[in-house]
Chains A and B, each alone.
Chain A
Amino acid sequence: MKPSKPYRVFRTSALVVVVFALMAPLLWMIAASFKTNVDIYDTAKAFVFSPSLKNYETVLQQANYLQFIGNSLWVAFAATALSLLLGVPAAYSMSRFNMKKSALVVLMARVIPGVSLLVPWYYVFSNLKLVGGFTVLILSHMFVSLPLIVYIMMGYFDGLPIELEEAALVDGLTHIGAFRRITLPLSVPGVATAGILSFIFSWNNFMFALVLSGSDTKTLPVAIFDFVGYASIDWGGLMAAATVVTLPIMLIALFVQKYVVSGLTAGATKG
């Protein structure tokens, strides 16, 4: 049945409000990143201003953001790749052998407050002289990624019919062979979902890098704070920095929308 006309009018106006409320702040941030600090302070130039790339120059050249972008990329990539390597087989096993309690061990990592792990990690890793290096950052980000990947992939493997593997066994493949040649290729969309989401969460992660990174291994979310001084804030630079952090991840999410949504809602409908 088609919705009635008054409802459609109401729905359209309500959705316009929703879209505006969600998009306007982001657009405002991007607009401010093209303003000089003088224009930001001038309320008459709220909407009409001559855009300048000065803030991006500051961020990318003086503030060394190219290096921080590289750091963030490397940490997120490495953490995602290693987590997939550990997480996908684990999720397969946990799904096929119904290892609920074992899965709970991994999913505990989602529940525990990160701060409670940071002090002991800091102690151990500083004794191993690893604090400030990439190893410890990648390990800590894997701690975020791995439960996410196991959670998403368990749901995905639950949905793959076991008959396909059984047929492969009849054809002479070993169990591991069947996993590698049949199940894994079939689960590429699931792996993509898990990988993309893991990358996003690792990219956005703040607290672990705040404590464990050094000045050379700083990731973008931590580097943003360089624009907040004790006395004053370089608003233009700050907004350019915020845009540089957010825009790439938003563009990735736009291109692979389907995967991001299915990852974020994984397990939701099964109740």
Chain B
Amino acid sequence: MSAVITPRTDSPEAPAASPETSAWSRWANEHRKWLFAAPAMAFVAVLIIFPVAWTGYLSLTDAEGSVRAESEFIGFQNYLDVLTDTDRFWPAVWRTVLFTSVVLFFEVVLGMAIALLLWRPFRGEKWVRVAILLPLVATPVAVGMMWRLIFDPNIGMANQLLGWIGIGPQPWLAGQHSALPTTMFIDIWQWTPMVVLILLAGLTALSDEPQEAARIDGASSWQRFRHVTLPLLMPTVIVAILLRGIDALKTFDILYATKGRGGGSFHEVETLNVYAYGLSFDYNDYGVSSTVLIIFFLIIIGVMWALTYRKKGLGR
């Protein structure tokens, strides 16, 4: 019986016989901090640093046509041209700001309302959660196409519904002034669920005690929300605004799927991102597009800085 029990030196767990104590292994263990982190960082850095530096350089040149074509250094001429361009650039800035603030407002307000409805357990919760999840994971381009059919002025369901309640047909995406609000609606449809999920996670993590205390003190449900729940939830609200805000500023898929190149024939949904894409890939106007992108980038950094200004370490 005792013959069976031998020290298992062949086991991989035993360090003495393990190849893991080789010189390489000792080195790897000592430097694991960077050995683990460096490949991912290098990957992102290579794919970011060169492009951003090159975009910065291109913005100072008159590059256009082919990406390989010779270009001339023209200093800040592009910046002057772009910043005085009230034809395409400033309207695009305005649309970006409008789009982002409107969708953020509705997504946060509606998201908060829906999250509060879902906060306490109820029957059929599972089904509501399914409904919340589906728009979120649906492919944005397909979502754009889906709404394109629903909002079609002639055959779309939206106008049929309006007809039943006695309202005349609307141009929706086809109208010069209604296109942008319609795309905002689509964005709100797809991304309000995201805010719901984030706020619901925040609500669930809240402790019940402050709520109970306020209830005992005789606070109405609105007062409890306004003075207890909302302040406690504020950090989560800011996370939601930050995450959605960055993506809303960069919205592309829905705008391109519904209105195509240039944001429609009157550029009616042309945001900065769509404008920069068009300058790069429809007009090959690389110098100007790089300038727009650098300005756009600075705007995004500025907005993020403003939002995180009061809270340290909010990125995570």
Contact = CB atoms under 8 A, between A and B. Distances in A.
Are A and B associated in one complex?
yes
Contacts of A28: 146, 149-150, 157
20 contacts: A40-B155, A41-B155, A43-B160, A86-B39, A89-B35, A89-B39, A103-B315, A105-B44, A107-B315, A109-B44, A113-B273, A113-B297, A115-B276, A115-B277, A116-B276, A221-B139, A242-B143, A249-B139, A260-B133, A265-B197
B189 A261 contact: no
The list of the 10 closest CB pairs from A to B, nearest first, reads: A271-B235, A90-B40, A120-B51, A93-B36, A89-B36, A242-B142, A265-B201, A116-B293, A29-B146, A93-B37
B293 A113 contact: yes
Interface string B143-175: 101111110000101001000000000000000
Interface residues of A, number: 108
Q: Is the interface of B mostly helix, strand, loop or mixed?
A: helix
How many B residues are at the interface, by size bracket?
A: 35 or more
A228 to B, nearest CB: 8
Secondary structure class of chain A's binding surface, majority of residues: helix
B209 interface: no
Nearest to A118: B280
Contacts of A89: 35-37, 39-40
Interface string A140-154: 001100110011001
Given A121-B51, A250-B134, A271-B239, A86 B146 contact: no
A107 B133 CA distance: 25
A269 B300 contact: no
A83 to B, nearest CB: 8
Interface stretch (A50-58, A63-71, A168-176): A168-176
Contact of B201 (A29, A177, A268): A268
A94 B37 contact: yes
Nearest to A168: B13
A112 B52 contact: yes
B145 A257 contact: no
